[in-house]
Amino acid sequence: MRSALAASFLLGAFTVLGFAPFYLFPIPVLTLALLCHFWRKSATPLHAALLGFSFGMGMFSAGVTWIYVSLHDFGAMPMPMAVLALFFLCAYLALFPALTGWILAKLHINIPVLWASTAGALWGLSDWLRSVLFTGFPWLTLGYSQAPASPLAGFAPIVGVYGVSLILVLSAALICLFFEKPFRKRRYPLFLFAIWIIGFGLQHIRWTKPQGDPVTVSLLQGNISQDMKWREDQLFNSMDTYARLTLESSSRLIITPEISVPLYRDEVPSSYLAQLATHAKRNNGDILVGMVEAPAGASEYYNTMFSFGASPDQSYRKHHLVPFGEFIPLKPVFGWVINVLKIPLSDFSRGGLDQQPMHLAGQRVAVNICYEDVFGEEIIKQLPQATLLANVSNDAWFGRSIGPRQHLQISQMRALETGRYMLRATNTGVTAIINERGTVLQEAEVFTTTALHGMAQGYTGTTPYVRFGNSLTLGLAGVLLVASLLPIFRGRRKKL
């Protein structure tokens, strides 16, 4: 049993190779096939749960190491405490594959195809559940590993990332069955090939269509070190950097990163914002600037993007906040964390979930801030009205880890799900222009002070995912689970 648990841990760690920056999308299919093999051989539901837990610990320990960088390097959390916090987070996340394994074994499904479909359904549901519990942490959802090149990415505009997770694990389970001696002569390879061929065909369907002419864009990357960003003696340098990059741009749409001006909106000199607005008007366009908003007479404050230029001034307030980074959940229990982490402005208020796209440079731009683009079901709240997606972020918190690249791949999945361009303006990278197919068209060199100039095509139309959200995946998972339970209920009726 120990060797199987160790092997499961290694399989989980190798699964990370499917995600950015590696993009080896077949790897998760193979590692999950081997995990399914271990599950099929497990003697008890507890053993299956331990195998799933070990797999999860391997995957998350290898895949979310950037959290240690955020907590220790930039949050000033003592090393032992940061290591312990990372361990407990990984252990919590590993409970989801553990639960999948336990339920799968507990059901005692004897029909192989139903067993495979149940494995996919349970994993897809567990990935979705992880995205909603305790405000959600869907990082390393298996489906992201298939963006943008895998044939399974063709399912993304229909069932979203959790549906891709379901189909990935179903594929892995079919591979597992094929290599078991009693089932080698059956038609499992045909089922597997059919899934992947359908996915490949779906990749060639255009769910959305271009609207109007492309718009020129400039995505600004100030490269302000996180340990310098909030220092008062560095404020002029930050503001001067973004002013200079702005004035050098002739694009109609200019986007700065999240809180590019580290001040409250009413503290920013009016002459500074007027200069940016005048330049944007001269380009017959608009600029998005990230600042902190503190409404007059109110105690709350918001992480906000403000627009200035030819269009009327508009704003977007961040809705989905980062736990322990932008707000402290359960303050009576975790309030002490504020005294440990040296994170400025760690108690933001939430913006509304019903905010509408901004009308900028002739486009309708659905803005999302940093962590928000991890939640596809929230992004589609601004669709199908929006013609472009824009993610502004400060991934300097991740340092030189794999975190920024993983975040880029998440944005690629959002582009696939919605059939829209995604514009990413980040402080240190990865600043990029992603097309409606999830392909990175242009990318700025990370950790450089630069502006990424390019063209973005607006799109209109509605993908099935935009129309139905995660309900299609939840419905499919429900149907598969009901199908797997029917033989069990029939068997019980015969006994009665």
232 catalytic, yes or no?
no
Q: Is 118 exposed, middle or buried (0-12, 13-18, 19+ CB in 10 A)?
A: buried
Tell which residue, 421, 424, 434, has the closest CA to residue 461. 421
**Out of 90, 176, 370, 436, which one is annotated catalytic?**
370
Number of helical (H) and strand (E) elements in the chain, helices listed first: 17, 14
281 catalytic, yes or no?
no
Q: Is 424 helix (H, G, I), strand (E, B) or coil?
A: strand
Alpha-carbon dihedral angle through residues 323, 327, 329, 333, given to the nearest 10 degrees: 120
**Out of 318, 326, 372, 377, which one is annotated catalytic?**
318
CB atoms within 10 A of CB 23: 18
Write b or e for each residue in 468-491: b if 16 or more Cβ atoms lie within 10 A of its Cβ, otherwise e: bbbebbbebbeebbeebeeeeeee
Helices (H), 152-187: 156-178
**Out of 229, 258, 326, 372, which one is annotated catalytic?**
258
Mention every residue, 6+ apart, whose C-beta is less than 8 A from residue 229. 238, 262, 394, 396, 427
Work out whether the CA dihedral 174, 180, 183, 186 comes out positive or negative. positive
318 catalytic, yes or no?
yes
Nearest-angstrom CA–CA distance, 15 and 31? 6
Instruction: Please list the active-site residues.
Output: 258, 318, 370
